[in-house]
Amino acid sequence: MSSSTTAAAPRKSAGGRFLASELSVLFRRRRTWALLAALAAIPVLIAVAVRLSSGPSPGRGPAFLDQVSQNGLFVAVVATIVAIPLFLPLTVGVVAGDTVAGEASTGTLRYLLMSPVARGRLLAVKYVGAVVFCLAATFTVAIVGTLMGALLFPVGPVTLLSGTSIGVPEALLRIALVCLYVTLSLLGLCAVGLFMSTLTDVPVGAMAATVVASVVSQVVGQLPQLEWIHPWLLTQYWLGFADLLRDPIVWDSFAANALLQAGYVVVFGALAYGRFSTKDVLA
């Protein structure tokens, strides 16, 4: 008996399996783990360097660096601050830039489309995959930071920017909140990367363009002459998570960031769809 009676097959299943398959492919790639390992190296380096040096160096280096030797939890915070301007956009740029162009370059894009995966669905799944990588990336930095801090330094209650002191569990929660904030900050960049990725069949090109976009945005953000454009910059709120370290938490910057990132996701998501839905897949 052949199993070819298509009537027995489900007419159409939910889209969850393709997403699961996408994530499994993403996390079975050695490259993904290399990127996460590179990110994990940041808190390790910071913790070891502080441990080996004699005492704190107040006033120099990234914010909170002077606190690390008194409270290991700060390794996670310092490492996140260090990772935000370059390392996180770099790794996210690699993954987001690879989304469509990478499939095109291996020739798997045409087979996915013929499976069939509708083009809009493909973009959505690819985007969600990149966002999951952002989550993994930011939490990698924070978790490795926390572990290294606990290993090399004393861990205790943390004094917030507003002066109140919170216990370790509450502090860990705040660190997780910072991770979510950073992930949120990267949503726009993911959408930019997705769009870039629909423009070319050469993944490296899309990756570079995405990273350049984040760098240019940060450079423009440094120029007071261009202050009028600052509120619209992708990177405007990237380091604005200090409000999450107050008591009570001030959600203003979180909301402003979410709105800005949502704007980028909508605009670049639409551009990516506009480009990809009509694109001839010749690779």
Partner 1 sequence: MSGAADLVIETAGLTKRLGGRDVVNGIDLAVPRGSVFGFLGPNGSGKTTTIRILLGLASATSGDVRVLGESIPRALQEVLPRVGALVEGPGFYPFLSGTANLLRLDAADRYVSPSTRRQRVETALERVGLSQAAGKKVGRYSLGMKQRLGIANALLTHRDLIVLDEPTNGLDPQGTREVRHLVRSLTEEGTTVFVSSHLLTEVEQICSHAAVLSAGSLVAQGSLDELRRSGEPRIRVTTPDVPQTHDVLRRLGTTPDDDGATPGAHSVTALLPAGLAPDQVVRALVEADVRVNGFSVDQAGLEDLFVALTGEGFDVVQ
Question: Which residue number, 11 or 60, has a Cβ lying nearer to partner 1?
Answer: 11
Q: Least distance (Å) from partner 1 to the CB of residue 115?
A: 4
Question: Which residue number, 13 or 54, has a Cβ lying nearer to partner 1?
Answer: 13
Distance of CA 90 to the CA centre of its chain: 10
Does position 4 interact with partner 1 (CB under 8 A)? The reply is: yes
Question: Which residue number, 31 or 266, has a Cβ lying nearer to partner 1?
Answer: 31
Q: Is residue 259 a contact partner of residue 173, using CB atoms and an 8 Å limit?
A: no
Q: Which of 53, 115, 162, 165 binds partner 1 (CB under 8 A)?
A: 115
Name the H helices within 115-167.
119-152
Does position 34 interact with partner 1 (CB under 8 A)? The reply is: no
Query: Per-residue contact track with partner 1, 75 to 114, x per CB under 8 A?
Result: -------------------------------xxxxxxxxx
Q: Which of 65, 81, 95, 117 binds partner 1 (CB under 8 A)?
A: 117
By rule CB under 8 A, what count of residues binds partner 1?
38
Q: 69-87 as b/e, with b when 16 or more CB fall inside 10 Å? A: bebbbbbbbbbbbbbbeeb
Does position 52 interact with partner 1 (CB under 8 A)? The reply is: no
Q: 110-134 as b/e, with b when 16 or more CB fall inside 10 Å? A: eebeeeebebeebbbbbbebbbbbb
Q: Which of 1, 7, 17, 60 binds partner 1 (CB under 8 A)?
A: 17
Does position 280 interact with partner 1 (CB under 8 A)? The reply is: yes
- Residue 30 and residue 188: Cα distance in Å, rounded? 25
Q: Which two tokens stand for residue 46?
A: 């910071």
Q: Tell me which stretch binds partner 1 (CB under 8 A): 5-13, 90-98, 150-158, 237-245.
A: 5-13
Pairing type for strands 158-159 and 165-166 reads antiparallel
- Residue 234 and residue 220: Cα distance in Å, rounded? 10
Q: Which two tokens stand for residue 208?
A: 């570079």
Question: Which residue number, 110 or 266, has a Cβ lying nearer to partner 1?
Answer: 110
Q: Which of 45, 57, 86, 116 binds partner 1 (CB under 8 A)?
A: 116
**DSSP code, position 2:** -
Binding site for partner 1 (CB under 8 A): 2-4, 6, 8-15, 17-18, 20-21, 24-25, 28-30, 106-118, 278, 280-282
